[in-house]
Chains A and B, each alone.
Chain A
């Protein structure tokens, strides 16, 4: 017994520098690490309808989820080569920084401080703004009528800052109650603890559906902030950052070129358009620059769809949420989504 610990310690000592070195090196090349692992690890919110939520069978659905599936499709030709890990808003950045997840697709607002301090935001995947959910019985139509009201917020989000700024600059006051997650926040609002529940408008549509009487609550038209949702990646890995950005652009460019999940296989066989040919990898070798195969964008549209497909499937009129495209339409339709050309 007594002689046992010495070799053990020696082994531990010998192994520990090697261990730390692999940990540091692994972060530099995320794509290689994902490939070696065989699947992508994606941080999601885990409870926002339309963005990321598991269904009764444990299968994940949502805009953020589909973004990760598109990334997996581009890399592995398999949209299911993803493991989803729900992240609280407080833990999400640490999870990304520590390497626990490869990409954070968690309806996270791109801000300067987050961009410089914590991570990189390659591209905006959804344009949102902060809104308010109130009871219809209060007969409130504008945010300024919430002067002196009690407002429930989820903590650690830009929501806290926006609300403070908005009320202060207008000389209005409010009482705040904050909670660590959206279930608690909604529960407090619904039980009458607060007069209003404020978060990103896109989430409010889903939150309203979770209340006992969705028809008794109304989402105010007004938005008090800009909330551009962007996936997050670690700093210092430009190749991975490009790959994440172009996964989104591929879906936008596909929609603009009229390539959808329904017609992609037919178009691939018969198209004469050079734009479509470049996107689908029939012309040029654009995938190589991203460290992928030539048909990377075809894989995305084939397995997951273009941006319009994804929006309609998760948020649009066919879903209970019925969120209008609004700012999230293509630039050609008066929206803000604009993909750089694939060439």
Chain B
């Protein structure tokens, strides 16, 4: 807040004096802040030197020597470095945050829409969900989820088994497809299916809009007619690829879990810690998202819904085509905050033993290397980068979703 340039002569003396005083004050405050920062840095480095701590990031190249319970990339205590441990932790954070964001959005939208439902039971259930979950501390919810997961599941040496999958206190162990050789074609076909389905839906929507078919007033296209071909693309292409590979003599291998001496082993394991954190984070955040969605839907002028109804659109179509698109510009900014919260709250993993970035890096690595300043600085930089990146993405989406002013 800078005072405008005083015009000589015309401005009263007192105004000019005030502007000068304000300027002097700002300079002083800035100098004081710079001085404090300078003191903090010199003081810290002097103390570190006194305590014989070598500053710098060289420790990242040293062998880590400890094991991590869940790793998305190859990692072994003997050969991996602290930097590898950092990546393992970071990927675990990204995995649980990404999935929790997706799941929380799905639950949140469903509950938010349900809160405005004309159905009394649905509306009340949704309201109860929101009030119960958003008013209890997340930490408590995580602990409850974790204890519940552990207590309710069968013992490790007596797991529940269905079709090659095992469920026990050690988590869920699934058959794991082994992508060797040309098997990458299967996930590639899945991605191709997704892209194709999206293109098909868009073309269909354009054709609807252009009136190439009878308008929605005459015959609203059933969801099934739209969804089935898309679903066929998404699931059919990988299935075709899988069968094709099998016929060509390169079948995709599957690693089947087996009941070991201490519990199910092999296959793809989903740890109870991961499940508890994912469920806790997404159900908690969903309660907030539901309120944001409800506020967004309420912000759309009532006439819009009435007009859609007058055109004969079903309630579902009204929501999907009229209300939600207009509500998005109100929903997206607070939704961004919730997504940032999920990412940051995922660090509560530390309390239930899920090896996320904070658990692995600020816990074990910090303790073993004593490079507190560096480790904390790296961790803060990671969360800052994640949050700013996510915010930038959401802002870009919001610009696109914002109404075009003509």
Contacts and interface: CB of A to CB of B under 8 A. Distances in A.
A173 to B, nearest CB: 9
Q: Which of B50, B261, B359, B367 has the most CB of A within 10 A?
A: B367
B68 interface: yes
A20 B44 CA distance: 10
Contacts of A97: 47, 51, 53
Interface stretch (A154-162, A292-300, A307-315): A154-162
A117 B66 contact: no
Nearest to B77: A164
Nearest to B66: A160
Contact of A234 (B29, B35, B51, B355): B51
Interface string A113-130: 110111000000000000
A16 B35 contact: yes
B319 interface: no
Contact of A9 (B29, B359, B372): B29
Interface in A8-35: 9, 12-13, 16-17, 20, 23-24, 27
B355 A236 contact: no
A148 B156 CA distance: 13
10 contacts: A27-B50, A117-B54, A150-B170, A164-B65, A177-B353, A180-B350, A184-B351, A191-B169, A235-B52, A236-B50
A89 B169 CA distance: 27
A24 B66 CA distance: 35
A111 to B, nearest CB: 10
B401 interface: no
Contacts of B78: 164, 168
B260 interface: yes
Contacts of A12: 32
Nearest to A113: B368
A113 B59 CA distance: 12
B213 interface: no
Contacts of B39: 16-17, 20
Nearest to A165: B65
A27 B2 CA distance: 45
A155 B261 CA distance: 26
A90 interface: yes
Interface in A83-125: 89-90, 93-94, 97, 113-114, 116-118
B150 A192 contact: yes
Given A6-B25, A17-B39, A178 B367 contact: no
Contact of B368 (A156, A176, A193, A235): A156
Contacts of B368: 113, 156, 161
Contacts of B372: 93-94
B52 A117 contact: yes
Contacts of A148: 260-262, 265
Contacts of A177: 69, 271, 273, 353
Interface in B256-276: 260-263, 265, 271-273
B402 interface: no
Contacts of B77: 164-165, 168
Given A24-B43, A89-B367, A193-B169, A6 B28 contact: yes
B220 interface: no
Contacts of A193: 150, 169-170, 272
A63 interface: no
Interface string A33-48: 0000000000000000
A2 interface: yes
Interface string B144-172: 00010011000110000000000001100
Interface in B8-60: 21, 25, 28-29, 32, 35-36, 39, 43, 46-47, 50-54
A180 B36 contact: no
The 4 A-B pairs at the shortest CB distance, nearest first, are namely: A156-B367, A164-B77, A160-B66, A117-B370
A188 B65 CA distance: 23
Interface residues of A, number: 50
B369 interface: yes
A135 B190 CA distance: 46
Contacts of A306: none
Interface string B358-375: 010011101111101000
B67 interface: yes
Nearest to A19: B39
Contact of A23 (B43, B65, B262, B369): B43
A17 B368 CA distance: 33
A338 interface: no
B364 A178 contact: yes
A112 to B, nearest CB: 12
A90 B366 contact: yes
Contacts of B51: 97, 118, 234-236
A287 B93 CA distance: 55
A126 to B, nearest CB: 20
Nearest to B31: A13
Contacts of A178: 69, 353, 355, 359, 363-364
B364 A192 contact: no
B367 A155 contact: yes
A235 B370 CA distance: 14
A193 B168 CA distance: 9
Given A160-B66, A178-B353, A236-B51, A192 B367 contact: no
Nearest to B156: A192
A93 B370 contact: yes
Given A9-B32, A118-B53, A164 B273 contact: no
A309 to B, nearest CB: 33
B6 to A, nearest CB: 18
A5 interface: yes
A66 B390 CA distance: 52
Nearest to B170: A150
Contacts of B366: 90, 156
Contact of A150 (B46, B147, B262): B262
A149 interface: yes
A94 B265 CA distance: 39
A16 B36 contact: yes
Given A155-B363, A174-B67, A180-B351, 11 more contacts: A5-B29, A13-B35, A17-B39, A93-B370, A93-B372, A97-B51, A148-B265, A176-B69, A178-B363, A188-B150, A191-B169
A195 interface: yes
Contacts of B355: 178
A17 B53 CA distance: 23
A216 to B, nearest CB: 14
A117 B375 CA distance: 15
Given A27-B50, A117-B369, A184 B353 contact: yes
